[in-house]
Chain A
């Protein structure tokens, strides 16, 4: 069976692989038999090998060396290119984080391939689905040169277990000087949160300009916590200083595709829709009945968020 290389993405906070890796392993099975590739600091693979096997990895290639994390993107692309040359896989699938997309880009140049970013589905014939223009257009695309490389958008595929052998195979790593140009000297976490990561969360509750103040975002957080959700914010809310930019959903922020997206006090400008339009179920709470967000909503409440949201939070908590 054709081999598909799947690059494992690690949880930056430690603690195993990101869900996006399991999604990529699942999507890769449409094309062949997935093998996972772990390119990370020494000692990483041991803790994640079982999860990779559980989601179908026949082989787990382990490329561990300190340099791959000390420099930005280039070393990982180099190791992956070396592996592609050795194994001649039928395709490469990479989780679609900023780093993942950049690894895909560099890999494409190194191996003379085309690449598709942020695909939401990969068909058996290699055709991939992408959404364009703020989610308003659905596009089917193909790689027409070299070994196809795909980056898979988070939350597009439901991870499904499928036992793989998970046979470990060590890969020797030698990072060239050319790949050591951009040195990562520090990794700083400014916002520690017990909430799920925005792009991974199955429920997202976002607040907009209608929330009216930074302090008032606590009611958004309250609803989010009652649902075990991540918190997002519209650009208007971020620009007004209500909530940090890290949580911005939209054209110049994060793109999310959760099972449930709750838009609170968000009008639904195209800039925002770009980041959430592909959510499976959308709920809007807004006092303006004409707000464009209602066009997208499966369920809408026309009302004052300051009364509706706290009351709903209380009821959800009471159900637990």
Chain B
């Protein structure tokens, strides 16, 4: 069972994130960059499947040189090797373009499953499995809270409002996971040391057979026109409950014509 896990490095959602006014893209260079949180669940799920069924877990990421940190994290958790697509021309690409790059990279790998996180905390689009499934002509098993792989068939529970859909597909398939699916392991000291020796192959657009004119901000299918900080909220009213807190709360609601 060979599995490719897609990992994205994102600005830490717990620290201040900014847009770059020079080109209206996410300011990544100066950000506190981490592995996209939900991707850790995807890595864990890949390791669980591999431990049960054998095979190899390959990490695939598209990102600048600094994304090596995200790769090392995944390798230290237990992934076997990595492919890092890095090319200056990719900067500023949108989801449609990145999906073309990932699809080309996947085309050079052998896999039974592709697993990724269901959402990145920076763009919050939740569309990469659908984009890749469409490009590669593979089944899409997205939004999983549970995954089982048996006899060449992958089955998921797709998390929905108030329940789930049972969805199944023959392998190879593309799976995305929510943070309800497992509890990711922490890298062990041994894992961290071992990760330093695991192979990381760096690929450029040329290595993938892609033309630079198909990627990058100038050729994107969407463009950010402008951005601004949310206007600060006016100072709210704050009361301390001295037995009348509930009354004041209800009065406020009445003033808003809510009750």
- Interface of A with B (CB < 8 Å)? 12, 72-74, 77, 98, 101-106, 108-110, 113-118, 127, 131-146, 178, 181-193, 197-199, 203, 227, 245-246, 251-252, 255, 259-260, 270-271, 274, 277, 281-283, 285, 289, 294-304, 307-309, 311-312, 314-316, 319
Known: A182-B173, A308-B246. A188 touches B95 (CB 8 A): no
- Inter-subunit contact B238/A133 (CB<8 Å): no
Residues of chain A within 8 A (CB-CB) of B186 are none
Q: Separation in Å of the A39 CB from the closest CB of chain B?
A: 16
From the candidates A181, A289, A303, name the one contacting B140 in the complex (CB within 8 A): A181
User: Can you report 9 A-B residue pairs in the complex whose CB atoms are below 8 A from each other?
Assistant: A108-B131, A139-B226, A141-B225, A182-B140, A182-B168, A190-B164, A259-B258, A260-B256, A308-B246
- Inter-subunit contact B121/A308 (CB<8 Å): no
Residues of chain B within 8 A (CB-CB) of A251 are 13, 37, 121
Known: A106-B133, A300-B239. A183 touches B127 (CB 8 A): no
From the candidates B168, B220, B228, name the one contacting A114 in the complex (CB within 8 A): B220
- Inter-subunit contact A299/B252 (CB<8 Å): yes
Q: Separation in Å of the A216 CB from the closest CB of chain B?
A: 17
Given contacts A138-B230, A140-B226, 11 further A-B contacts (CB under 8 A): A109-B135, A115-B96, A135-B230, A138-B228, A140-B225, A181-B170, A227-B259, A289-B238, A294-B236, A297-B238, A299-B236
Closest chain A residue, CB of each to CB of B221:
A114
Q: Separation in Å of the A164 CB from the closest CB of chain B?
A: 29
Known: A102-B142, A114-B220, A181-B139. A315 touches B96 (CB 8 A): no
Known: A135-B230, A181-B170, A184-B167. A114 touches B222 (CB 8 A): yes
- Inter-subunit contact B133/A74 (CB<8 Å): yes
Residues of chain A within 8 A (CB-CB) of B165 are 72, 184, 186-188
- The 6 tightest CB contacts between A and B, nearest first, are A303-B241, A114-B221, A181-B139, A311-B246, A105-B127, A102-B130
Interface flags, B193-206, vs A, CB<8A=1, else 0: 00000000000000
B137: CB under 8 A from chain A? yes
How many angstroms from the CA of A64 to the CA of B17 in the assembled complex? 45
Residues of chain A within 8 A (CB-CB) of B169 are 181-183
Residues of chain B within 8 A (CB-CB) of A116 are 222
- Inter-subunit contact A137/B256 (CB<8 Å): no
- Inter-subunit contact B249/A302 (CB<8 Å): no
Residues of chain A within 8 A (CB-CB) of B258 are 203, 227, 259-260, 281
- Interface of B with A (CB < 8 Å)? 13-14, 17-19, 37-38, 94-96, 99, 119, 121-122, 124-127, 129-131, 133-135, 137-143, 158-170, 173, 178-180, 220-230, 233-234, 236-241, 245-250, 252-254, 256, 258-259
Of B165, B166, B247, B248, most buried by chain A (CB within 10 Å of CB) is: B165
Residues of chain A within 8 A (CB-CB) of B226 are 139-140
Residues of chain B within 8 A (CB-CB) of A108 are 96, 131, 221
Q: Separation in Å of the B77 CB from the closest CB of chain A?
A: 19
Residues of chain A within 8 A (CB-CB) of B249 are 283, 285, 299, 301, 308, 312
Residues of chain B within 8 A (CB-CB) of A143 are 221-222
How many angstroms from the CA of A227 to the CA of B259 in the assembled complex? 8
- Inter-subunit contact A117/B125 (CB<8 Å): yes
- Inter-subunit contact A252/B37 (CB<8 Å): yes
Residues of chain A within 8 A (CB-CB) of B227 are 132, 137-140
Of A145, A146, A199, A299, most buried by chain B (CB within 10 Å of CB) is: A299
Residues of chain A within 8 A (CB-CB) of B222 are 114-116, 141-145
Residues of chain A within 8 A (CB-CB) of B233 are 295-296, 298
How many angstroms from the CA of A183 to the CA of B236 in the assembled complex? 50
How many angstroms from the CA of A100 to the CA of B67 in the assembled complex? 30
How many angstroms from the CA of A179 to the CA of B187 in the assembled complex? 39
Known: A117-B127, A252-B37. A198 touches B246 (CB 8 A): no
Residues of chain B within 8 A (CB-CB) of A281 are 256, 258
How many angstroms from the CA of A74 to the CA of B127 in the assembled complex? 13
Residues of chain A within 8 A (CB-CB) of B141 are 72, 182
Residues of chain B within 8 A (CB-CB) of A297 are 236, 238
How many angstroms from the CA of A148 to the CA of B239 in the assembled complex? 47
How many angstroms from the CA of A194 to the CA of B151 in the assembled complex? 41
Residues of chain A within 8 A (CB-CB) of B238 are 289, 294, 297, 299-302
How many angstroms from the CA of A296 to the CA of B121 in the assembled complex? 21
Q: Separation in Å of the A136 CB from the closest CB of chain B?
A: 6
How many angstroms from the CA of A282 to the CA of B131 in the assembled complex? 36
Residues of chain A within 8 A (CB-CB) of B236 are 282, 294, 296-300
How many angstroms from the CA of A193 to the CA of B163 in the assembled complex? 12
From the candidates B37, B143, B240, B250, name the one contacting A289 in the complex (CB within 8 A): B240
Q: Separation in Å of the A246 CB from the closest CB of chain B?
A: 6
- Inter-subunit contact B245/A142 (CB<8 Å): no
Residues of chain B within 8 A (CB-CB) of A309 are 246
- Inter-subunit contact B178/A252 (CB<8 Å): yes
Q: Separation in Å of the A131 CB from the closest CB of chain B?
A: 7
- Inter-subunit contact B245/A188 (CB<8 Å): no
Residues of chain B within 8 A (CB-CB) of A109 are 96, 99, 131, 134-135
Closest chain A residue, CB of each to CB of B254:
A319
How many angstroms from the CA of A308 to the CA of B133 in the assembled complex? 51
From the candidates A72, A101, A141, name the one contacting B127 in the complex (CB within 8 A): A101
Residues of chain A within 8 A (CB-CB) of B223 are 141-142, 144
